[in-house]
Amino acid sequence: MSAGNDGQHADLRSDRPTAAELLEIIAETLSDSVVPATAPHAQHQARVAANLARMLARELGSAPEPMPSLPSNLVDADDATAAAAFVEVQALVQAKLAINKPGYDTHDAAAEAEVVA
Amino acid sequence: MTSFTAESLSAYLGSELGADVVVGSLSPVTAGARRINVLFDATIDGESQGFCITQQPNTGEAFDRPILDEVQWLRNAAAAGMRVAEVVAASGDEAVLGGPFFVSRRVDGATIPKRVIKLCETTPGLGAQVAHEIGASLARLHATSVDDVPESVERPPGTAVDAALAWADEKMAELLQRSPALELVLRWLIRNQPEPVPVCPVHGDVRNGNIIVNGDGLGAILDWETAHIGEPFEDLGWLAQRMWRARNDQLEIGGFANRSDLQAGYEAGGGDWDEDRFHWWKVFRTLWWGLGMANQGRQHLDGTFRSIIMAASGRRVAELEWDALCLIEGR
């Protein structure tokens, strides 16, 4: 991606490409070279492997969110506790989706309600 | 790769149908995880006809349903007026073709979700018609008697809602790490239980991906492997899951139709519609699949079924958590 010398911020303990950059080329290789040259059964697996490599590149490139402190078991929580936890839990799921499936949360409760109506 | 050839199939069908049968080339298709499906043409007394043979591989998996039970479901469904493939021959004897199997008439059309959506998009009115036909078909299945269900199928002691919640409880306890989102969803389900209704035969996996659609409408409802005794909206709520829409999120039913189309068909087939039940089962089936995905990840990690597909499933739990939270938000 970025060529040239960015002396100040470089992590001199490892060489380029970085882990994230390597995962990106692993994904590209799987998608562009391996998938087209593979039998259907293995092709699906190679596609999934490419997706996982992209997922890991995103995970490496993102700063982890602080863990929210949640009540130990929400199944039995009272209304106030559950309502307070809902927003935090939703944010937790969104942070996972940003890594696992970016954009999935653009279809939200309001959008689904509109589909159903 | 199959345990039979065009020759052995010709001989079997010839004696079974009492006709002169010549089977042409075999085309294996990928459909169903625990079933081998092979399409073929056969010339029967000079006339060419299309068929599909569905075989159970001899994997010795104890949980697998006997294939003759599936045949009984298919025949019951056909008798009830559902759109299913017609079974012309079946055998549970491994000596015949190397594994239990049934042969059905081939139904032409699209099965891959994106192709089904594309076909519905390019054929005015087709999506609504297909949803209507699925609704009518399901209403007819749900009206059949549990007495006609194969004997090996479990008879739940209580209501389907009780069974569903007990199952969820058990699976939540098995998670490798807790899911606060699914806890909130289970909490909602417990507090919003619908009134009990009698159990009935259900298909269990009707969705975009398990239907054949062609220019004339619904060709057939496939894959009766998970048919069981449950309650009607289990089938109907499953059809409405976001994951069967292939990103065509604005159409609730499989990305090709609206709920009102399904409802109209269900009522035309004699079924009673209930929005609250529909919603409850839609939420439950989202939780169900989320727990299913988590379980696949676990099976990968504990070595029960090591595979990159199963590993990836573990990372899909968040999608179902999101979908389920969307469904209970503000309710």
**DSSP-derived secondary structure for A75-104:** GG--HHHHHHHHHHHHHHHHHHHHHHSTTG
pLDDT at A14 (0 to 100): 87
Report which DSSP code applies to B110. B
ipTM score: 0.91
Q: Is B266 helix (H, G, I), strand (E, B) or coil?
A: helix
pLDDT at B63 (0 to 100): 47
Q: Which residue type, as a one-letter code, is found at position B308?
A: I
Q: Give B-chain residues touching A73 at CB under 8 angstroms.
A: 178, 183
Q: Which residue of A has its CA nearest to B257?
A: A115
B190 touches chain A (CB under 8 A): yes
For residue A71, pLDDT over 80 is answered with yes
**Cα(A39)–Cα(B204) distance, rounded to whole angstroms?**
31
A3-7, B1-5, B71-75: range with lowest mean pLDDT: A3-7
Q: Which residue of A has its CA nearest to B320?
A: A93
Mind listing the pLDDT tens digit for each residue in B131-163? 999 999 999 999 999 999 999 999 988 999 999
pLDDT at A57 (0 to 100): 95
Query: Which residue has tokens 């569903």?
Result: B164
**Cα(A23)–Cα(B66) distance, rounded to whole angstroms?**
44
At CA B28, angle to CA B26 and CA B33, rounded to 5? 150
- Counting residues of chain A whose pLDDT is more than 70, the rounded percentage is 93
A42 touches chain B (CB under 8 A): no
Phi first, then psi, for residue B52 (nearest 5°) are: -135, 130
Q: How confident is the model at residue B1 (pLDDT cuts 50, 70, 90)?
A: low
For residue B31, pLDDT over 80 is answered with no
Nearest alpha carbon to residue B38 among B13, B30, B105: B30
What sign does the CA torsion over A48, A52, A58, A62 have? positive
- The model's pTM is 0.93
Q: Contact A97/B325, CB-based, under 8 Å?
A: no
For residue A2, pLDDT over 90 is answered with no
